Structure 1
Amino acid sequence: MKRVIIIILCLILLLSTNGCTSIKNSINVESSGSKEITILIGSNSYKYLKSDFSVFNTYKQKFEREKGIKVKFDVIDIRNKNYKNKVVSKLYLENGPTLIYISPFDSYKSLIEKGIALKIDDKLKNYDKIYDSIKDTDGSFIPIVMCHYPIVLNREVFKKLEIEEPGLDWTREDYFRIREKWLAQEPQNFTPYLFIELIGNVMEELHVYDSKNNKVNINNSKVIEYIKNLRYEVYSGKYILKDNYTFENYYKMFYVAESNEYKEVRETSLYNDTDNIRRWYYYKNALKSLGNDIDMVINDYIILPQVVDENNKLILWGFVVNKKGKNVDLGLEFLNGLLCDEVQLEIFRDKGSLFYPVNKDIEEKLRK
């Protein structure tokens, strides 16, 4: 997405001037050395997992204590230029990492395509408990938790604009109609947040990326027409542009966190958040509805399903099992426990966490 945004900005400027441990059909993999499993994980994800996922850490300690199986982490520094090569090299080793942690920013598809990921849909008893809609077609990715970042609107702005509030069944078209009325009232500062909304689904809508041939295709009439329309939108008068800003300034504003441009737009956006039609800084899981109800009453928020960015409708965290990993059977036992009713209920009860369970069998307990 970052690459696509840069390309579009360039072109605009150019144009402008049940049980917790049972496993079914477990494969036979001999344990190599001591009873242990290893989780391959990026450094950023490791920090997040250790600090923000207390249920996972409690379960890990209990699993180690009760099963006598050590759960280790193989942490790869994502700042390393050879990060991807290091990851791949480890996955082709015999008795390599048992599990691969998949964050919302990671892709497991390449692991399936390269024959690294083990098909596990018939090897985990508790895999059947996962919501069918979040299972991948290959049966190789094991989601453990999920999150839905909603769109949060300011009710006060709706009152000023005398616009009727949308319902839960609203659409992307509904949002942009409301957005147009807001922009027509008064031009707004051009920010990364407003721009990204416009191009949130560009890769899917224009078929920019050809995954089969691993190619990007932007040299066609449909993309060129889209760029022209987008340029017209940016220069339509709806947005306040800085006369002295070049492409370099806008690049810094989007991506360079230590730059003055980035800091300035973040500060002004935070300051004006209550005046925007939409709040940009709401990072709560809409699936945990009790906490959101309080925000709706006290802060006068309108909290609705994500309809603007298709890629962010449902965010998943989980694992892939490495075919060549050490003690794969123990890794499967570890994952099976993470999906059991007791652990998934604890995920729901953890008020300090964003995570929501993926186990559909506990729905009735959640309602109670």
Structure 2
Amino acid sequence: MTTRALIDLLGIDRPIVLGPFGGLSSVALTAAVSSAGGLGSYGLYGYDGARIRETVASLRAATDRPFAVNLWLPTGDEVTPDAVDLRPLSAALAPVFAEVGAEVPEPPERFLPEIAEQLDAVLDGRPAALSLVYGVPSPDLVDAARRRGIAVIGTATTVAEARALADAGVDAVVATGAEAAGHRVSFLQPAERSLVGTFALVPQVVDAVDVPVIAAGGIADRRGVAAAFALGAAGVQVGTAFLRTRQSAVTAGHRSAIAAAADDTTVLTRAMSGRLARGIPNRAMDLLEAAPILPFPAQNWLTGRFRTPAAAQGRSDLVSQWAGQAAALARHDDAADVFAELAAGLPR
């Protein structure tokens, strides 16, 4: 598939997509990438319907260009509050809650909003694109999105996942290599068995599907963009390089950690959320690695009760410092400069 196919599909000028950061998204960064001619993305993990509608309205007020929103599909193995005991880990984390001025939380009625509620709000909002992770959209969802002019973008960590997404009728596939920041969004095999690198994954996905392929993972400058297109990609998705910018929602300490990162700085861990993810180690990760890790989304909900106030206080030692293996190549602190650097690697 050609770059022009992706550009026409999304109504953008340049085939550069902002990685959606569940929990770290900002309207400012999403709008900056969209306004520059790419596709800004906003992660809606954990948002209920009302908050999704508010966020989409804010994005529309900030940019008149196309943007995407991102949701996590249920995998079926998510635990409910009545199926897990939060008390042992809550007690172990009591000093951390005290540090940020938070009470040790009581179990909630539910850990996450219903996916149907989230999808209804997204469909009502009619963004240019809905990107999805952790699964394959239903035919009804694909049809409903298409009727509203919403492109559906699936996310694959293996060739088999890419084929499953293409067979389901998605409009484009993000092929995300193991180098990428944040959660490993595998859904056919365990994440530990789906750690295919970007350089190996992208050309195999391009050969396997007949929709545009967006390369993600390890792309932070013009060289990564040029490599992705040499591998047959129709576009690129970039996360860490944009996370370092002042338009992102991360703490100043998180930005500094990205700036100071080396090639081997990031690690894969389940400590922060209960699902495998790539980030920069800090005190929170060390504390949680030493304790029993709860299944998702219990772990993510519980750690979120101290991570949210910690982020508000600028406490980078107690937040999720997501970053990819190309963090050392993230050298700009303004989103416009990152976009210009990436655009310099696009085919002429």
Q: TM-score, normalised by structure 2?
A: 0.22
Instruction: Tell me which structure has the larger Cα radius of gyration.
Output: 1
Higher helix share: 1
More RCO (CA 8 Å, sep 6+): 1
